[in-house]
Amino acid sequence: MTVKVVLVDDHSVVRSGLRRLLESHKGIEIVAEAETGEAAYQVYGEIVPDVMLMDISMPGMGGLEAAKRILQRYPQARIVIFSMHEAVSFASQALKTGVKGYVTKTGVAEDLVQAVLDVAKGRTFLSQDVAQKVALQTLIGESNPLQQLTSREFEVFRLLAEGKRVEEVADMLKISQKTVANYYTLIKQKLSVNSPVEMVRLAMKHGLIDAT
């Protein structure tokens, strides 16, 4: 059985590299590509692949929001998110959305192939580095306040914590500035933060941005 895969990444060089890597396995076929979350949503409906492999960080809707929308419409969708972020917060958000796999770009190439094959069979796949962190966090019972955020709130929080202005966030996520401001208010209430500085500290603590 050949696993039909749709690749989603905003960089064509990354997509061609992934295509080569995945198609080197004879059981995997790339049937389509997309470079935005919006396009991914549309392509999924047209093709209904066995697995969708999607980057988490893209302009516009972004991988998390796109995954959420696809799963709302097609609950049977099998999505693997790949990301440069090893923070548990990203993986937790992705799994909460309903994606079946989370692979970090810093991991080994075989992880991606294995994730696609496992998820196609209905299993869940986490990169070893992420799986260890998730297990550790559960083991020591460390509470992560970011778990309270919806995927859209999480994206807004991350972008604002990175230093993006409200208008930039609105432009990236294709929503109004007023909506971003409303999310900001909600986020501050949920996380009990009162200033941008507190927001940045919280984001650093949970590995969303580097403490440089």
Q: Tell me the one-letter amino acid at 185.
A: T
pLDDT tens figures, 48-86: 999 999 998 887 778 888 999 999 999 999 999 988 777
Q: Residue 211: how many CB atoms within 10 A of its CB?
A: 9
pLDDT of residue 123: 95
Residue 23: which pLDDT band, with cuts at 50, 70 and 90? very high
Closest-CA residue to 79 (of 106, 41, 46): 41
Residue 42: which pLDDT band, with cuts at 50, 70 and 90? very high
Closest-CA residue to 103 (of 76, 66, 129, 78): 129
Residue 39: which pLDDT band, with cuts at 50, 70 and 90? very high
Instruction: List the domains of the chain with CATH numbers.
Output: 3-139 (3.40.50.2300), 145-205 (1.10.10.10)
- What would the two tokens of residue 30 be? 């790339």
Percentages (nearest 5) of helix, strand, coil residues in the chain: 55, 15, 30
pLDDT tens figures, 179-191: 999 999 999 999 8
